[in-house]
């Protein structure tokens, strides 16, 4: 049986999300959503102070929420945050088979294998 690594949040990302969520009426929570991307297949949208879906990760008092499809796509990845004199931003990191865009939050995953059945449609 293959064991999958859940999505994780680094302490730096949790601190920045906490800072952003504190400015809303719901501190300590944020939602993740995937939208079709231009640079890769998916782009991660982060909404601080919003609760949509199910809890998927918790670190340092910050809980991330997402729908099951987003949770599945983000499996084995982690959310990081960098900050320097030029600014800062969130960055997705993950397994070697995932292609990431230079924007930091766009990614493409390899197909999970062929779909079985005569009526199979490639998505």
pLDDT number for residue 107: 95
Residue 13 has pLDDT above 60, yes or no: yes
What gap in Å lies between CA 93 and CA 59, rounded to an integer?
A: 16
Percent of the chain beyond pLDDT 90? 74
Q: What is the mean pLDDT of the chain?
A: 87
Cα–Cα distances (Å) from 22 to 18, 25, 40, 44, in that order, read 6, 7, 31, 21
pLDDT number for residue 99: 94
What gap in Å lies between CA 16 and CA 56, rounded to an integer?
A: 18
Tokens 């990191």: give the residue.
Answer: 93
In a 13 Å sphere around the CA of 34, the CA atoms on its Cβ side amount to: 19
Distance of CA 109 to the CA centre of its chain: 13
pLDDT tens-digit map of 84-117: 888 889 999 999 999 999 989 999 998 764 444 4
* 115 or 11: which leads in pLDDT: 11
| Cβ atoms 90, 22 nearer than 8 A | no
3-state class of 42 per DSSP? Answer: strand
Question: Cβ–Cβ contacts within 10 Å for residue 68, how many?
Answer: 10
Mean pLDDT of 14-35: 95
In a 13 Å sphere around the CA of 35, the CA atoms on its Cβ side amount to: 5
pLDDT number for residue 78: 95
Mean pLDDT of 20-35: 95
């Amino acid at each position: 049986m293959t064991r999958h690594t859940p999505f994780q949040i680094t302490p730096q990302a949790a601190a920045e999300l906490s800072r952003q969520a504190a400015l809303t009426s719901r501190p300590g929570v944020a939602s993740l959503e995937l939208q079709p991307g231009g640079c890769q297949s998916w782009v991660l949208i982060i909404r601080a102070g919003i609760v949509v879906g199910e809890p998927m990760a918790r670190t340092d008092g910050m809980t991330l929420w997402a729908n099951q499809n987003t949770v599945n796509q983000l499996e084995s990845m982690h959310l990081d945050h960098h900050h320097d004199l030029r600014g800062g931003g969130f960055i997705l990191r993950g397994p070697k088979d995932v292609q990431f865009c230079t924007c930091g939050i766009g990614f493409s995953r390899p197909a999970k294998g062929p779909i079985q059945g005569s009526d199979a449609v490639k998505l």
